[in-house]
Structure 1
Amino acid sequence: MCETGNQLAELVSKVEKHLGRIAKGNDTDGREYTSLSEMWATVGILEPSVALKAGATRKRVAELVNGAADETASVPAWYTQAYSYWEAEGNCPPTIDGVLGGFGHVSGTDIAGSRRFLEGRVKPLLPAMRLEKAADCGAGIGRVTKLLLLPIFASVDLLEPSPRLLAAAPSFMFGQEGHRAARMEAEVLLSEGGEEEKLREQAVVGMRGREEPYGKAEDADPRAGSLPTRQQQGMKAPPEARVRYLCLGMQDFQPASGVVYDVVWIQWCIGHLHDLDLVRFLVRIKAALRPETGAVIVKDNCCDASADFVVDTGDSSLTRSPAYLKALFEIAGYDLRVEERQQGFPAELFPVIMFCFTAKKEASQSGEGWGP
């Protein structure tokens, strides 16, 4: 982890330079953090020695970390804890209410807001945007794929690290027949190699089923916006033939050679990546965006002005401020094109912001040099 730690420390320095201050935050256990390096050391991503060099105080690192991190671990506890959380049925039943943490009633408002954002804000900025292929990152059971992306794009890659949630996606989107077909193919893939090999090879699970492009009436309103769909453009393939399932986290995802995305949609999952893995992912995915018109759209919780970040110790995720998130995209070589706050959500939730980013045109600002 030493090289990763040094790179993360360098990245932390760049982020705080963008912010113009030392970032401060807290976590759900009540801890207060006086810097990003202190926080990343506490959760085991940044070694204490590197954190000290990055500016964290010796006293605070000693208090919070209680000894050196395991430098031999191939997968940080940050990720294994998140994986265990989402794999547990009790934490996340494979339903809309489950994947939305008990706020399933906001799904219709969410989808309608996302569609209006695509139509009213993104499309005018990128009028030549094609609707050929989208990626749904951290897709869970495929809620966004089913209700938003599949009615619009010719094909969707559904990226989800939890095998349990991935296995539930076909029946959610296409009924029990789709569930049975996809499960049979998944069992074959799992029998051919271990989890690590499957991740490296980006195993694809097929599916068959029936078409339910919008779901129930309470989940989404198909009249929300007039963005032309692939069906309206004459695309005849049934929806079950237009989705690939990839059992991977974003930190492990490498787009296949020749794959071109028009939109990469990242909703309520970007906080599971630590800063360095997030920048690395953005650099990799940028190479697969359609030139000139491809976009990365992020929709996620954001901190208000009282903190730069909040760590959820239950599922190992980080809620960043808008400025913090935009700094990471800037460093990775992206331009912010538009942002908008989702309206109509309960007041007790974090503000939910939608961002549209496109790759910078200047080669000197391409985000190179951040590792694999």
Structure 2
Amino acid sequence: MNSTRRLIRQTMTIARRDFIATVFTPIFLLFLFAPLIMVAFSTIGAMGAAQAADHGADHVRIVAIVPDALAGSFVEADRRSRAIFRRDEEPPALVTLAPARDPAAQARAAFESRDYDATAVLYGPLDRPTLLYGARGSRAADYLAVLAGSALAAERLGGELPRVTPTKVSFSRQRATLGGQNQTAFLAVFGVFFLTLFLAGQVVGTMAEERSNKVIEVLAAAVPLEAVFLGKLLGMFGVAVLFVGFWGTVLGQVTSVLPPAFSGVVGELSPAVGLPIFAILFVSYFTMAYLLLGSVFLTIGAQATTMREIQMLSLPITIVQVGMFTLTLSGLSKPDSWLARVAEIFPLSSPFAMAGMAAASPSLWPHALALAWQALWVAIFVTLGARLFRRGVLQSGSTRPFWRRKG
């Protein structure tokens, strides 16, 4: 057996050991269902907030103080105009009042009514109406002005506006829209970022237990440290693949029962390179992002001696990930700028940026170069981490991390 095959076999042995030790534990079920727990609590909070908002919105009204002869036209104009709004975007319900002796005083009194919460009140002649509105009633006042124009036009046309009977035909585009490509690029970047943020940070603590029970010395004596580092990285990546595969299957079944309107929205999110190739590139860049960030985190975590130090490393690690995400989004907004080139070339942000490029640009040859470039940096980070661990922890006999050792 040559040295390359032996190294691969040793690496896969370490990876299989870490994968089994992580997956076949009760705590892994808690980790696997963590998104479900987060979604459940978020849904409960959102439902409570929505119920509170709906309860308050049920009492909000817009008020039109108009003569009885115009009240019907006003109500009809409101009925026609309201049909173009989504349910959650509809203006408040309309209330019409007959003018009193002092319409201005009546309008001010409408804001003090105990029967409803007036957000905007209209009074005066329809060609020159006066609109009073509260803190959040500016758009409602604009809506009342539109209704006044429609009611005035109906009055001058004899009491009713002409009816229009349109013929609506659904049409599917043959190619992706520019807006759809940009949205797909953002979702691709966010998807890679979210998965690596949620999964790659676990690599930090994989060496802590090995150092505490002295197993790392046995492993280092049996196999090269490069195989130990790469094996642990691949083992944790296998855990991440299991997690993504499980939730990908669940979401795939959920989206199959969603209404057709949702399918139409998803259809607009068409990547420039085509959906099959984009799926392959997305998986490839998630893999590279995990291996790159995981190798860096494994190197840093291997230098820590206690769980407290590992916990303290969590914040800088999160800041690094958010920084890469921010850099990528900045470059994505200006595809031909130098900032975009920096995001595509810098190793830790390159997977994010290239995932966005796959959605926004049809070119394929840059992805071959990018994947080779990222794989090179994975090898560099793993080799560097193994050498730092060998020289800083094993050979010197010191248990202090490199940032706490004197030169």
Shorter-chain TM-score tier: under 0.3
Mark the structure with the bigger radius of gyration: 2
In the superposition, the TM-score normalised over structure 2's length comes to: 0.21
Give the number of the structure whose residues are more often helix, by fraction: 2
In the superposition, the TM-score normalised over structure 1's length comes to: 0.22
